[in-house]
Amino acid sequence: MINILQIELYKLFSSYRTYITFAITILLMLIVDLGLYSDGEEIFSYLIQPLNDNFYVEGNIINGYLIAYLALNTLWVHIPVLIIIVTTHIFSGEFELGTIRILLTQPISRSNLLTAKIISMIIYTICFMLIVAFFALVPSMIFFGTGDVLVFIDGVQFIQEATFLLRFFYAAVFAVLAMIAFSSMAMFFALWFKNTLTAILLSLGLLILFTLIQTFVLGIFSSWQPFLFTYHIAKWQLFFVDEIPFSTILNSAFFLFAMSVFFIGVSFLKFNKMNISE
Protein backbone atom coordinates (compact mmCIF):
# COMPACT_ATOMS: atom_id res chain seq x y z
CA MET A 1 0.00 0.00 0.00
CA ILE A 2 2.78 2.42 1.00
CA ASN A 3 4.64 1.56 -2.22
CA ILE A 4 1.57 2.26 -4.33
CA LEU A 5 1.07 5.55 -2.55
CA GLN A 6 4.70 6.51 -3.11
CA ILE A 7 4.33 5.73 -6.81
CA GLU A 8 1.12 7.74 -7.03
CA LEU A 9 2.70 10.69 -5.27
CA TYR A 10 5.76 10.44 -7.49
CA LYS A 11 3.54 10.51 -10.57
CA LEU A 12 1.56 13.44 -9.17
CA PHE A 13 4.52 15.57 -8.20
CA SER A 14 6.57 14.82 -11.32
CA SER A 15 3.78 16.08 -13.56
CA TYR A 16 4.08 19.54 -15.11
CA ARG A 17 0.31 19.89 -14.72
CA THR A 18 0.65 19.95 -10.92
CA TYR A 19 3.19 22.76 -10.93
CA ILE A 20 1.31 24.74 -13.57
CA THR A 21 -1.75 24.84 -11.28
CA PHE A 22 0.47 25.97 -8.39
CA ALA A 23 2.00 28.68 -10.58
CA ILE A 24 -1.41 29.91 -11.77
CA THR A 25 -2.60 30.10 -8.14
CA ILE A 26 0.42 32.15 -7.12
CA LEU A 27 -0.17 34.43 -10.10
CA LEU A 28 -3.85 34.80 -9.13
CA MET A 29 -2.90 35.87 -5.61
CA LEU A 30 -0.39 38.39 -6.93
CA ILE A 31 -2.99 39.80 -9.34
CA VAL A 32 -5.38 40.32 -6.41
CA ASP A 33 -2.56 42.16 -4.57
CA LEU A 34 -1.76 44.30 -7.59
CA GLY A 35 -5.41 45.12 -8.30
CA LEU A 36 -6.03 46.30 -4.75
CA TYR A 37 -2.76 48.19 -4.67
CA SER A 38 -3.81 50.26 -7.68
CA ASP A 39 -7.57 50.70 -7.10
CA GLY A 40 -8.27 49.44 -3.59
CA GLU A 41 -8.46 52.86 -1.89
CA GLU A 42 -10.84 54.22 -4.50
CA ILE A 43 -13.13 51.18 -4.45
CA PHE A 44 -13.40 51.06 -0.68
CA SER A 45 -13.81 54.83 -0.33
CA TYR A 46 -16.80 54.51 -2.62
CA LEU A 47 -18.19 51.55 -0.71
CA ILE A 48 -17.98 53.24 2.67
CA GLN A 49 -19.03 56.71 1.49
CA PRO A 50 -21.95 56.91 3.98
CA LEU A 51 -19.50 56.18 6.78
CA ASN A 52 -17.07 58.81 5.52
CA ASP A 53 -19.89 61.37 5.53
CA ASN A 54 -20.61 60.84 9.21
CA PHE A 55 -17.33 59.63 10.66
CA TYR A 56 -13.65 60.33 10.67
CA VAL A 57 -12.36 56.94 9.49
CA GLU A 58 -8.83 56.38 10.73
CA GLY A 59 -6.69 53.34 10.02
CA ASN A 60 -5.41 51.18 7.24
CA ILE A 61 -8.46 49.95 5.29
CA ILE A 62 -6.53 48.32 2.45
CA ASN A 63 -4.37 46.02 4.52
CA GLY A 64 -2.88 42.57 4.09
CA TYR A 65 -5.65 40.84 6.00
CA LEU A 66 -8.35 42.39 3.83
CA ILE A 67 -6.50 41.32 0.71
CA ALA A 68 -6.05 37.78 2.08
CA TYR A 69 -9.78 37.64 2.76
CA LEU A 70 -10.62 38.90 -0.75
CA ALA A 71 -8.13 36.44 -2.25
CA LEU A 72 -10.06 33.61 -0.60
CA ASN A 73 -12.97 34.53 -2.88
CA THR A 74 -11.12 32.65 -5.61
CA LEU A 75 -12.39 29.59 -3.74
CA TRP A 76 -15.61 30.15 -5.53
CA VAL A 77 -14.56 29.23 -9.08
CA HIS A 78 -10.83 29.61 -9.76
CA ILE A 79 -9.50 27.22 -7.13
CA PRO A 80 -12.00 24.39 -7.78
CA VAL A 81 -11.23 24.60 -11.51
CA LEU A 82 -7.49 24.34 -10.95
CA ILE A 83 -7.81 21.56 -8.40
CA ILE A 84 -9.98 19.27 -10.50
CA ILE A 85 -7.73 19.65 -13.54
CA VAL A 86 -5.14 17.70 -11.56
CA THR A 87 -7.33 15.46 -9.40
CA THR A 88 -9.44 14.10 -12.26
CA HIS A 89 -6.26 13.26 -14.15
CA ILE A 90 -5.05 11.18 -11.19
CA PHE A 91 -7.93 8.79 -11.92
CA SER A 92 -8.83 9.07 -15.59
CA GLY A 93 -5.28 9.63 -16.81
CA GLU A 94 -4.58 5.92 -16.37
CA PHE A 95 -7.56 5.06 -18.59
CA GLU A 96 -6.63 7.59 -21.26
CA LEU A 97 -3.05 6.33 -21.47
CA GLY A 98 -4.14 2.69 -21.21
CA THR A 99 -1.76 2.12 -18.29
CA ILE A 100 -4.64 0.99 -16.06
CA ARG A 101 -4.61 -2.41 -17.75
CA ILE A 102 -0.92 -2.93 -17.04
CA LEU A 103 -1.34 -1.61 -13.53
CA LEU A 104 -4.15 -3.98 -12.65
CA THR A 105 -2.24 -7.02 -13.92
CA GLN A 106 0.17 -6.38 -11.04
CA PRO A 107 -0.45 -8.17 -7.72
CA ILE A 108 -2.20 -5.22 -6.09
CA SER A 109 -5.81 -4.97 -5.07
CA ARG A 110 -8.06 -2.48 -6.82
CA SER A 111 -9.13 -1.09 -3.45
CA ASN A 112 -5.51 -0.40 -2.48
CA LEU A 113 -4.85 1.30 -5.79
CA LEU A 114 -7.91 3.50 -5.49
CA THR A 115 -7.11 4.28 -1.84
CA ALA A 116 -3.60 5.38 -2.85
CA LYS A 117 -5.06 7.60 -5.55
CA ILE A 118 -7.58 9.12 -3.14
CA ILE A 119 -4.84 9.82 -0.59
CA SER A 120 -2.78 11.45 -3.38
CA MET A 121 -5.79 13.56 -4.27
CA ILE A 122 -6.18 14.65 -0.64
CA ILE A 123 -2.46 15.41 -0.30
CA TYR A 124 -2.53 17.45 -3.51
CA THR A 125 -5.60 19.39 -2.31
CA ILE A 126 -3.92 20.14 1.04
CA CYS A 127 -0.71 21.27 -0.71
CA PHE A 128 -2.73 23.43 -3.07
CA MET A 129 -4.65 25.08 -0.23
CA LEU A 130 -1.41 25.64 1.72
CA ILE A 131 -0.03 27.50 -1.30
CA VAL A 132 -3.26 29.49 -1.60
CA ALA A 133 -3.19 30.40 2.10
CA PHE A 134 0.51 31.27 2.09
CA PHE A 135 0.42 33.44 -1.02
CA ALA A 136 -2.90 35.04 -0.08
CA LEU A 137 -1.56 36.06 3.32
CA VAL A 138 2.21 36.55 3.40
CA PRO A 139 2.95 38.85 0.41
CA SER A 140 -0.06 41.04 1.20
CA MET A 141 0.96 41.28 4.88
CA ILE A 142 4.50 42.28 3.85
CA PHE A 143 3.40 44.91 1.33
CA PHE A 144 0.21 46.24 2.93
CA GLY A 145 0.65 45.61 6.65
CA THR A 146 -2.12 44.37 8.90
CA GLY A 147 -5.32 45.86 10.27
CA ASP A 148 -9.01 45.40 10.88
CA VAL A 149 -10.95 43.90 8.00
CA LEU A 150 -14.11 45.30 6.41
CA VAL A 151 -16.25 42.40 5.29
CA PHE A 152 -19.50 42.77 3.35
CA ILE A 153 -21.48 39.82 4.65
CA ASP A 154 -24.87 40.35 6.25
CA GLY A 155 -24.33 44.10 5.97
CA VAL A 156 -20.92 45.35 7.00
CA GLN A 157 -18.69 43.57 9.49
CA PHE A 158 -15.59 45.04 11.09
CA ILE A 159 -13.39 42.05 11.85
CA GLN A 160 -10.80 42.86 14.47
CA GLU A 161 -7.17 42.38 13.51
CA ALA A 162 -6.45 40.22 16.56
CA THR A 163 -9.00 37.60 15.56
CA PHE A 164 -8.24 37.50 11.85
CA LEU A 165 -5.49 34.85 11.66
CA LEU A 166 -7.52 32.29 13.58
CA ARG A 167 -10.56 32.95 11.36
CA PHE A 168 -8.35 32.64 8.29
CA PHE A 169 -6.96 29.33 9.55
CA TYR A 170 -10.48 27.98 10.18
CA ALA A 171 -11.59 29.13 6.72
CA ALA A 172 -8.58 27.45 5.09
CA VAL A 173 -9.27 24.15 6.91
CA PHE A 174 -12.92 24.35 5.88
CA ALA A 175 -11.83 25.09 2.30
CA VAL A 176 -9.68 21.95 2.28
CA LEU A 177 -12.73 19.89 3.26
CA ALA A 178 -14.83 21.65 0.61
CA MET A 179 -12.25 21.08 -2.11
CA ILE A 180 -11.87 17.41 -1.15
CA ALA A 181 -15.64 17.01 -1.47
CA PHE A 182 -15.60 18.68 -4.88
CA SER A 183 -12.60 16.61 -6.00
CA SER A 184 -14.35 13.42 -4.83
CA MET A 185 -17.24 14.24 -7.12
CA ALA A 186 -14.86 14.94 -10.00
CA MET A 187 -13.06 11.66 -9.22
CA PHE A 188 -16.33 9.77 -9.50
CA PHE A 189 -17.01 11.33 -12.91
CA ALA A 190 -13.44 10.55 -13.97
CA LEU A 191 -13.89 6.89 -13.08
CA TRP A 192 -17.34 6.71 -14.61
CA PHE A 193 -16.46 8.30 -17.95
CA LYS A 194 -12.75 7.33 -17.95
CA ASN A 195 -12.03 10.68 -19.51
CA THR A 196 -10.47 13.73 -17.85
CA LEU A 197 -12.09 16.37 -20.03
CA THR A 198 -15.59 14.94 -19.60
CA ALA A 199 -15.12 14.76 -15.83
CA ILE A 200 -13.88 18.36 -15.68
CA LEU A 201 -16.72 19.61 -17.86
CA LEU A 202 -19.36 17.81 -15.82
CA SER A 203 -17.92 18.98 -12.50
CA LEU A 204 -17.61 22.59 -13.68
CA GLY A 205 -21.06 22.45 -15.26
CA LEU A 206 -22.56 21.48 -11.92
CA LEU A 207 -20.47 24.12 -10.12
CA ILE A 208 -21.71 26.86 -12.45
CA LEU A 209 -25.32 25.65 -12.47
CA PHE A 210 -25.51 25.37 -8.68
CA THR A 211 -23.80 28.72 -8.26
CA LEU A 212 -26.38 30.37 -10.47
CA ILE A 213 -29.26 28.72 -8.64
CA GLN A 214 -27.75 29.70 -5.32
CA THR A 215 -26.91 33.27 -6.27
CA PHE A 216 -30.19 34.06 -7.99
CA VAL A 217 -32.50 32.47 -5.50
CA LEU A 218 -35.82 32.77 -7.27
CA GLY A 219 -39.05 31.25 -6.01
CA ILE A 220 -38.89 27.47 -6.01
CA PHE A 221 -35.08 27.40 -6.04
CA SER A 222 -34.83 28.81 -2.54
CA SER A 223 -35.85 25.49 -0.98
CA TRP A 224 -33.18 23.68 -3.01
CA GLN A 225 -30.29 25.60 -1.48
CA PRO A 226 -29.41 23.17 1.33
CA PHE A 227 -29.00 20.40 -1.27
CA LEU A 228 -26.47 22.33 -3.35
CA PHE A 229 -22.82 21.64 -2.60
CA THR A 230 -21.96 25.21 -3.66
CA TYR A 231 -24.22 26.49 -0.88
CA HIS A 232 -22.16 24.57 1.67
CA ILE A 233 -18.79 25.37 0.09
CA ALA A 234 -19.60 29.09 0.47
CA LYS A 235 -19.92 28.74 4.23
CA TRP A 236 -16.20 29.44 4.69
CA GLN A 237 -17.28 33.08 4.58
CA LEU A 238 -19.12 32.70 7.88
CA PHE A 239 -15.75 32.54 9.65
CA PHE A 240 -15.56 36.25 8.84
CA VAL A 241 -18.80 37.16 10.55
CA ASP A 242 -18.56 38.96 13.89
CA GLU A 243 -19.99 36.05 15.88
CA ILE A 244 -19.08 32.88 14.02
CA PRO A 245 -22.17 30.64 13.65
CA PHE A 246 -20.35 27.38 14.35
CA SER A 247 -23.49 25.22 14.24
CA THR A 248 -24.32 26.37 10.69
CA ILE A 249 -20.73 25.81 9.63
CA LEU A 250 -20.66 22.36 11.24
CA ASN A 251 -23.83 21.41 9.36
CA SER A 252 -22.17 22.41 6.10
CA ALA A 253 -18.94 20.64 7.06
CA PHE A 254 -20.97 17.50 7.74
CA PHE A 255 -22.70 17.83 4.35
CA LEU A 256 -19.34 18.16 2.59
CA PHE A 257 -17.88 15.24 4.55
CA ALA A 258 -20.93 13.09 3.71
CA MET A 259 -20.62 14.14 0.06
CA SER A 260 -16.97 13.04 0.04
CA VAL A 261 -17.81 9.72 1.70
CA PHE A 262 -20.65 9.13 -0.76
CA PHE A 263 -18.60 9.77 -3.89
CA ILE A 264 -15.57 7.87 -2.56
CA GLY A 265 -17.85 4.93 -1.65
CA VAL A 266 -19.58 4.91 -5.03
CA SER A 267 -16.18 5.20 -6.73
CA PHE A 268 -14.93 2.12 -4.86
CA LEU A 269 -18.00 0.16 -5.96
CA LYS A 270 -17.59 1.32 -9.54
CA PHE A 271 -13.84 0.73 -9.69
CA ASN A 272 -13.98 -2.72 -8.11
CA LYS A 273 -16.62 -3.90 -10.58
CA MET A 274 -15.18 -2.12 -13.57
CA ASN A 275 -14.38 -4.11 -16.68
CA ILE A 276 -11.01 -2.70 -17.66
CA SER A 277 -10.98 -4.45 -20.99
CA GLU A 278 -13.75 -2.13 -22.29
Partner 1 sequence: MKLWLYILVVLNFFSVFAQNKHDEKINALIDQYTADHELKCEIIVKIEIEGMHIPDKKIYTEFKKDEKPIIKGEGLTLFPKKGTMNQFNELLSSPLQAIFLSKIKDNLVYKLVSLDQNSDWITADIIFNEQTNLIYESTVNTRKFGTFHTVNSYNDQIYPSKSTITFDIKKIKIPLKFVGREQSVSNYSDQNEDEEVKGKIILLYQYF
Which residues would be at the binding site for partner 1 (CB under 8 A)?
Answer: 47-51, 53-61, 73, 76, 147-148, 150-158, 160-161, 211, 214-218, 222, 234-235, 237-238, 241-242
CB closer to partner 1 out of 50 and 107: 50
Do the beta carbons of residue 41 and residue 114 sit within 8 Å?
no
Distance, CA of 46 to chain centre: 30
Do the beta carbons of residue 18 and residue 80 sit within 8 Å?
no
CA distance 180 to 263: 11
CB closer to partner 1 out of 142 and 153: 153
CB closer to partner 1 out of 140 and 214: 214
Q: What is the 3-state secondary structure of 233-269?
A: HHHHHHHHCCCCCHHHHHHHHHHHHHHHHHHHHHHHH
CB closer to partner 1 out of 115 and 225: 225
CB closer to partner 1 out of 156 and 208: 156
* HSE of 260, CA atoms in CB hemisphere, 13 A: 19
Distance, CA of 8 to chain centre: 22
